[in-house]
């Protein structure tokens, strides 16, 4: 990224009226440093594991096939 762009963005977010933006950016930063998988429930993790297993076994549907079954 161009340094001029970085400096422009830093100047923009540093303005006092952008406190809400800073809070949002901090939430994004904090969320990206965590492994979201660790925060899932056991049932959510189990569902993801089943989906990965189904995929590796070829148990999949195309979007078109899925919607045919659910029309």
All structural domains of the chain with their residue ranges: 1-33, 41-71
pTM of the model: 0.46
Above 90 in pLDDT, residue 71? no
Cα separation, 33 vs 26, whole angstroms: 11
Average pLDDT estimate for 46-69: 93
Question: What mean pLDDT is reported for the chain?
Answer: 87
Q: Residue 18 CB: number of other CB atoms within 10 A? A: 13
The pLDDT value given to residue 15: 82
């Amino acid at each position: 990224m161009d340094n001029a762009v970085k400096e422009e963005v830093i100047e923009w977010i540093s303005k006092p009226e952008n406190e809400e933006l800073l809070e949002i950016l901090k939430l994004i930063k904090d969320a990206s440093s965590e492994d979201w998988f660790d925060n899932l429930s056991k049932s959510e993790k189990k569902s993801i594991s089943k989906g990965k297993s189904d995929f590796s076994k070829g148990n999949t549907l195309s979007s078109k096939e899925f919607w045919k079954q659910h029309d």
